[in-house]
Structure 1
């Protein structure tokens, strides 16, 4: 599904939510996550395809006489692209954004259909609590993937106001 088409379908998940504050927060979060997932997916595939092509040309150029400098240049470019892919973790970030948006969509459908834990009258409050918990879990995954233990402790102290 194209990004534009997917963004058009988000109202299906959020329109039935009666509280405008919750509705807008969920909608904006879904838009953010889907756009980011698409962005990182495109970068991952673009860099991976370029890397594949570069690596495939190395043996070919290596067989040609007097072109050894090109092998070095292409290998260096391939190394830089591999390093970028490893440093930024495009695939992992893309996956994390996508999973978060799909979990939120699932919870929205449960809320809208009034099933499971959303059968009672205060279902939107329960949904908001679950929604914020999902975002908190995603944030913790991000922190764990980006920072070492000392950095995490410093972030927790800042968050806790110490």
Structure 2
């Protein structure tokens, strides 16, 4: 069996209705693009459908914390690459990193870290991940070598500029 990918990647095009008057992607829309990309990547690469889990099992993940650095504007009709990776997997929470790049990954547009808490829609409370989920997370977790967001942004910027 081939090992699962630890860094997932997809492309998206910046659309008019998501931009400000300067034709830059609106700051709040970066989150939407990244979360959409991550959800699609999980389905496409692992068959892990968080929406189906919510409907059928009454579980999901809620955002507990988000950190984002906007480094270079994403422009109207620009194709961007969104890379994501799971960087921390704990009993009741996950943390993932997302990087938005230009089309050839030479300009870093934004870096995001998001902490997600595993949540029961039935009990309306956090809960531990199942053993099956923890086994998947153990296969795909890809730590980045620091727990400091600003340090990580600096590492990524040094790689690209």
Interval of TM-score (by shorter of Structure 1 and Structure 2): under 0.3
Structure 2 length normalisation: TM-score? 0.26
Give the helix-richer structure, 1 or 2.
1
Give the strand-richer structure, 1 or 2.
2
Rg larger in structure: 1
